[in-house]
Each structure stands twice: as structure tokens, then as C-alpha cells.
């Protein structure tokens, strides 16, 4: 902008001449008009000049930043909105491959199967194969007995008297108790799950009838599970647990008793439970014997799922590392 004050100052210092007043004022207006015209013309040329690529990028970034700020801006009185989680983009085949890589080139063979208890969708590998079940087959025996309680055949308050024929060495505490001591049927169920008690499960099996658990298994076409041969498969166990979860076999207090008996057990909480957060409940049953280290159960996540990992001829030290890793991967895909 033209500085009028400076012009006035300069003019005040000069000697006054005596040109014609109109000519002098006209010249000043003409000069101002010329300067203003040049300034406007230059400004218009600058505005019409296209931006350089760098200038375009900077302008776009500013617009994008303003848009992001507008999206996240919330008034102080309003509550933050809960955004829906983006579905995991990993394909089922990719998930299977990632899990299988964990036991590639390891000793023995592993099979696993997982099923959402919400959608019913499942996947896994090597899951239709008869593995040594070990204590995992205590699951159908416990369910069969509780089903008989639900049908009115037994009561949880009924008394059992410890007999020599039921005592079996290995896991559990009843084997060390006095012959003739009495225990409620509910305690037998709790011991079978919490302590994996061989004596307690023998008593339940005898009470419910040795053929009853197998009839339950055959009812749901679990073809790889055989109580007498002590075999099962990952998919068979997951299928049984998913049916159980739907309350088609037992429900209410009997179902809760089953779940609680298999939580925070005395044996191997560092397998499936190790792969999920501590505040997430897991009802599970391990199967252990020489070169067998398996685990099957339900993870009560916000999106619950059933998971079973079985193996044969494995290295125990390797299995104790692999199973929690499998569990954690499944948790990140299915539980969150």
C-alpha cells in the first residue's frame, strides 16, 4: 500500500513551488491510479497462477487433516461413541497355515479344531483322526452322569461310599481316602473335573452305567470317540462341547456345575488357559500320558468358542510350548 504519511512528510520538507494547483493535484491522482492499476494486475496474475505440485500436496493435506479433526471432534457433554471392531481380514486357510507352522517339524502329530459358539463356524486340521484321549474322555462320562441327574435318576445330594473297586492310582485325591468314607455325588463330579480324579470318575461311570456315556457319544455321531478304547478326536470333542453349550443335554445348575468343575483346575492351567487373558474363564480338560499332552475346552470370551488340541507321540516339552501358542492365536482371531 502506498504510504501517504511519508509523502506528506517529504512534501513538507521541500520548498513550495508555484505550479498551477489543478495541474499538480491531477498529476498526483494520475500517479496513484497508475500504481493501483499495476498492483491489481499483478495480484490477479498471482491468483490465477496454478499451484505447484508441492503446494497442491500441502493444500490436500490441510484439507484431510481438517476432515479428520471434524470426524473426531466431540462436544464436552457428549459420550464417546463405541466403534464396531473391524472383522479380522485373515482367511481361514491362512489361519490354518499359521497354526500348523507352530508344530511343523516337531515330534509326533497334532490335530486341532475350533468352533464359534455364536455362529457355529469351525475350522482346523488333522481333526478327524482317533487320538489317544487319556483323561479327556472324562468329559462325556461327567456329562452322561449329569444328564441322569437331570432326568431324576440321581440327586447331587445322594451319598457315595468309597469302595476298593473304584480306587485307581494316578491323578486325584480319593485314592488316599479311607475306605467306607462317604461323599456326595456333587463332590464326585467336582473331583473328576478339578482334580481329574480317576477314582471319582470310576465311581460316576459305574453309577451311570458303563454303556451310558458311549450311547451319548453315538447319539451325536461322534465316530472317533470310544470310551473303551480311550480314543477321541478334536472335532468330536468340540462338537460335544458346542452341543453342551446349547443346553441340549443339561442346563442351569447342572451345566454350571460342569463348567465350574473344569475351571482353575489342579492340572495344567498353562495350556489353553495360558493363551488367553487371565480374566477370561476357561472350562477345559487335559489328557496326559506318555507322549500325549492334549487339552479341550470352552473359552468364555465375549465371543465364546470351543477349542480342542490333541496329539500323539509328541515331546512333552514341545507340546507345553505349542499348545499355549495355538490357544493364543485362536484367541486373537475368535475371542476378541
Terminal-residue alpha carbon distance, the chain: 65
Across 143-154, average pLDDT: 98
Distance (Å) of CA 227 to CA 89, 126, 224:
40, 21, 10
Q: What is the pLDDT of residues 36-86, one digit of tens each?
A: 666 655 554 544 444 433 334 333 433 333 333 333 333 333 333 323 444
* pLDDT classification of 268: cutoffs 50, 70, 90: confident
Distance (Å) of CA 138 to CA 199, 291, 318:
11, 19, 25
Helix (H) or strand (E) holding 94: helix 92-102
* pLDDT classification of 133: cutoffs 50, 70, 90: very high
Distance between CA atoms of residues 94 and 16, nearest Å = 95
Question: Which residue do the cell numbers 485307581 mark?
Answer: 168
Kindly list the strands in the beta sheet with 292-299, ordered across the sheet, starting from the edge strand earlier in the chain. 122-125, 109-116, 305-312, 292-299, 282-289
Residue 149 has pLDDT above 60, yes or no: yes
Distance between CA atoms of residues 156 and 149, nearest Å = 7
Across 94-115, average pLDDT: 97
CA dihedral 323, 264, 204, 223 (to 10 degrees): -30
Residue 159 has pLDDT above 60, yes or no: yes
Q: What is the pTM of this model?
A: 0.74
Across 178-196, average pLDDT: 97
pLDDT of residue 334: 96
- Cα 248 vs. chain centroid, distance in angstroms? 25
By CB atoms closer than 10 A (0-12, 13-18, 19+), residue 125 is middle
Instruction: Assign residue 54 a region (left: φ > 0; alpha: ψ between -120 and 50; beta: otherwise).
Output: alpha
> 137 near 237, Cβ under 8 Å?
no
In the chain, % of residues over pLDDT 90: 71
* pLDDT classification of 267: cutoffs 50, 70, 90: confident
CB atoms within 10 A of CB 312: 16
Across 15-40, average pLDDT: 57
Across 295-302, average pLDDT: 97
Question: Which residue do the cell numbers 485373515 mark?
Answer: 90
* pLDDT classification of 89: cutoffs 50, 70, 90: confident
Across 17-44, average pLDDT: 58
Residue 4 has pLDDT above 50, yes or no: no
Q: Of 327, 325, 331, which is closest to residue 308 (Cα–Cα)?
A: 327
* pLDDT classification of 336: cutoffs 50, 70, 90: confident
9-34 in b/e form (b: 16+ CB < 10 A) is: eeeeeeeeeeeeeeeeeeeeeeeeee
Residue 143 has pLDDT above 80, yes or no: yes
Amino acid at each position: 500500500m502506498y504510504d501517504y504519511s511519508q509523502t506528506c512528510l517529504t512534501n513538507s520538507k521541500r520548498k513550495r513551488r508555484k505550479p498551477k494547483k489543478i495541474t499538480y493535484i491531477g498529476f498526483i491522482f494520475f500517479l496513484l491510479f497508475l500504481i493501483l492499476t499495476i498492483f491489481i494486475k499483478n495480484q490477479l496474475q498471482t491468483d490465477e497462477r496454478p499451484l505447484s505440485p508441492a503446494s497442491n500436496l500441502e493444500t490436500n493435506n490441510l484439507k484431510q487433516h481438517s476432515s479428520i479433526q471434524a470426524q473426531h471432534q466431540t462436544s464436552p457433554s457428549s459420550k464417546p461413541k463405541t466403534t464396531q471392531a473391524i472383522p479380522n481380514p485373515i482367511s481361514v486357510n491362512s489361519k490354518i497355515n499359521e497354526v500348523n507352522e507352530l508344530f511343523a517339524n516337531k515330534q509326533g502329530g497334532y490335530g486341532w479344531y475350533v468352533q464359534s459358539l455364536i455362529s457355529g463356524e469351525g475350522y482346523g486340521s488333522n481333526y478327524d483322526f482317533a487320538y489317544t484321549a487319556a483323561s479327556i474322555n472324562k468329559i462325556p462320562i461327567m456329562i452322561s452322569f449329569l444328564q441322569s441327574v437331570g432326568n431324576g435318576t440321581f440327586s447331587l445330594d445322594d451319598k457315595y461310599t468309597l469302595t476298593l473297586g473304584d480306587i485307581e492310582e494316578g491323578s486325584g485325591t480319593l485314592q488316599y481316602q479311607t475306605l467306607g468314607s462317604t461323599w456326595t455325588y456333587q463332590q464326585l463330579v467336582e473331583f473328576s473335573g478339578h482334580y481329574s480324579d480317576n477314582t471319582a470318575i470310576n465311581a460316576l461311570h459305574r453309577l451311570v452305567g458303563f454303556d451310558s456315556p458311549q450311547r451319548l457319544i453315538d447319539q451325536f455321531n461322534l465316530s472317533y470317540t470310544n470310551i473303551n478304547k480311550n480314543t477321541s478326536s478334536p472335532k468330536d470333542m468340540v462338537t460335544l462341547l458346542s452341543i453342551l453349550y446349547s443346553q441340549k443335554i443339561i442346563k442351569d445348575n447342572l451345566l454350571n456345575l460342569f463348567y465350574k468343575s473344569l475351571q482353575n483346575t489342579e492340572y495344567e492351567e498353562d495350556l489353553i488357559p495360558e493363551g488367553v487373558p487371565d480374566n477370561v474363564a476357561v472350562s477345559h480338560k487335559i489328557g496326559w500320558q506318555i507322549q500325549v499332552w492334549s487339552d479341550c475346552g470352552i473359552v468364555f470370551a465375549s465371543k465364546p468358542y470351543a477349542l480342542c488340541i490333541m496329539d500323539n507321540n509328541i515331546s512333552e516339552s514341545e507340546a507345553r510350548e505349542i499348545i499355549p501358542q495355538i490357544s493364543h492365536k485362536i484367541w486373537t482371531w475368535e475371542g476378541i
